[in-house]
Amino acid sequence: MAVQTFSSLPVAQRVHGFTYAIRNIVAEARKVEAAGRPVRYLNIGDPSPFGFKTPAHLIEAVERAMRDQHNGYTPSPGILAAREAVADDFTARGVPTIPDRVLLTSGTSEGIELTLGAIVDEGNEVLVPTPTYPLYTAVLAKLGAKAVYYRTDPARGWQPDVDHLRSLLTPSTRAMVIIDPNNPTGAVYPSETRLQLIDLAERHGIVLLADEVYGDLAYDGSVPALASLNPDAPVISYSSLSKAYLAPGWRAGWLAVGRTPRLDAVLAAMKKLADGRLCSPGPMQYAITAALRGDRSHLISLRQELRARAELTTARFNAMDGMRCVAPKGAFYAMPQVTLPPGRTDEDFVLALLRETGVLCVYGSGFGTDPAGGFFRVVFLASLEELSEIYDAIAGFTRGWLAH
Ligand SMILES: Cc1ncc(COP(=O)(O)O)c(C=O)c1O
């Protein structure tokens, strides 16, 4: 018998550029748990483990779809009834939309991936905010395209720096990503800023990717859809049941392509790519109709609960020595900043905090901020009591860490 020698089979180069700190850091947390310290996971933006419940009428819609044997593949853009519900919802929000320009996707994530796959070639550039939700940079790395970071400014409530963004536009720029309300900062952008961003995209002939997955979770009420400010602008809008409808595991999302004929070829390209993945999860598509046509009253209490957590979070971090935090206006994230001792990084702080207290946050550089900036992201979905305990632990740890 031939003797087998072990040598690792090759992995594609592109994987080296694919990083996703939010999940990568869990490997460290597992080691801490294995050493006997329980970990409080404040790294992933999933409301389910914190007791937030999916609305019952959504669950019933999925259950009914399964019992009615809607368990086969759907058309690749998704079932018509749900695409109609998405189109009507956008139209009601001031973005006249037809079902033919809607695709149902496996979460916002797949929508983003389909679009970037359809519009960027190797070497093309896409403007991405810093800090950013890291899927954008990860997908661009996979495609061999370049994420070009535009600044958002903590001194101005994490608003985009429009002049900086303008200075980054080149003939290779294909798209601009706008995440509003924002993960990881919790910022909500004013209309003037949004209009300036639309204007830049119009002038330079680039696509605007409007990530609106937190659009209904701004504490003062739903944020208008970006495309409603100019329905003829080249905007593609994304959302899902993951956040506002509390069902992230269902992978039920959608995108709507703006009505401008300039996006017709992009829409056709996305449909072509979508054919290759057959469809998004079928029974969950029925819940999209239920969500967008049914009772949305859960949003009122959800926003109140998030606002209370945001206020506690901001107050507690700003009361800690060496720490400051911009007040979030939507979603369930805050991005505090710790004053780092010379030579230390945000990752050093987050790992030391994890090892000493079992509290798991994500370092800001995982979202594209400078490692020396001292930013880190907190997911504040735990109860107020639990958050209070967690913030006691962070305050105690930070005092000691800064004293060394
Ligand atoms: C800004 C942003 N976009 C997209 C996603 C992905 O959401 P989905 O579950 O709809 O794929 C997330 C998830 O945290 C997010 O924060």
Residue type, 235: V
What is the DSSP track for 364-396?
Answer: GGGGTS-GGG-BEEEE--S-HHHHHHHHHHHHH
Rounded Cα–Cα distance for residues 272 and 114 (Å): 10
Residue in 23, 43, 109, 223 to alter for ligand 1 test, most ligand atoms within 8 A of Cβ? 109
Give percent above pLDDT 90 in the chain.
91
Q: Using one digit for the tens of pLDDT, what is the confidence trace for 156-213?
A: 999 999 999 999 999 999 999 999 999 999 999 999 999 999 999 999 999 999 999 9
pLDDT at position 1, please? 58
Task: Please state the atom number of ligand 1 nearest to the C-alpha of residue 111.
Answer: 11
What is the DSSP track for 65-114?
Answer: HHHTT--SPPPTT--HHHHHHHHHHHHHTT----GGGEEEESHHHHHHHH
What's the chain's average pLDDT?
A: 95
Rounded Cα–Cα distance for residues 237 and 225 (Å): 8
The pair of three-digit structure tokens given for residue 101, joined into one six-digit string: 């320009």
Q: Is the pLDDT of residue 22 over 90?
A: no
Ligand 1: centre distance to CA 109 (Å): 6
Q: Whose C-alpha lies nearest to ligand 1, atom 7?
A: 108
Q: Whose C-alpha lies nearest to ligand 1, atom 14?
A: 45
pLDDT at position 3, please? 65
Only one residue has tokens 């101005």, namely: 156
Q: Is the pLDDT of residue 234 over 80?
A: yes
Ligand 1: centre distance to CA 209 (Å): 13
pLDDT at position 2, please? 63
Task: Please state the atom number of ligand 1 nearest to the C-alpha of residue 44.
Answer: 14
Ligand 1: centre distance to CA 85 (Å): 21
Ligand 1: centre distance to CA 16 (Å): 22
Q: Using one digit for the tens of pLDDT, what is the confidence trace for 103-153?
A: 999 999 999 999 999 999 999 999 999 999 999 999 999 999 999 999 999
pLDDT at position 146, please? 95
Q: What pLDDT band is residue 402 in, cutting at 50, 70 and 90?
A: confident
pLDDT at position 18, please? 72
Q: Kindly report whether the peptide bond that precedes residue 181 is cis, defined as omega within 30 degrees of 0.
A: yes
Ligand 1: list residues with CB < 6 Å: 45, 107-109, 133, 179, 183, 211, 213, 240, 242, 248, 253
Residue type, 334: A
Q: Whose C-alpha lies nearest to ligand 1, atom 16?
A: 183
Ligand 1: centre distance to CA 46 (Å): 10
3-class DSSP assignment, residue 38: coil
Ligand 1: centre distance to CA 185 (Å): 14
Only one residue has tokens 């748990």, namely: 33
The pair of three-digit structure tokens given for residue 297, joined into one six-digit string: 């009253």
Ligand 1: centre distance to CA 211 (Å): 8
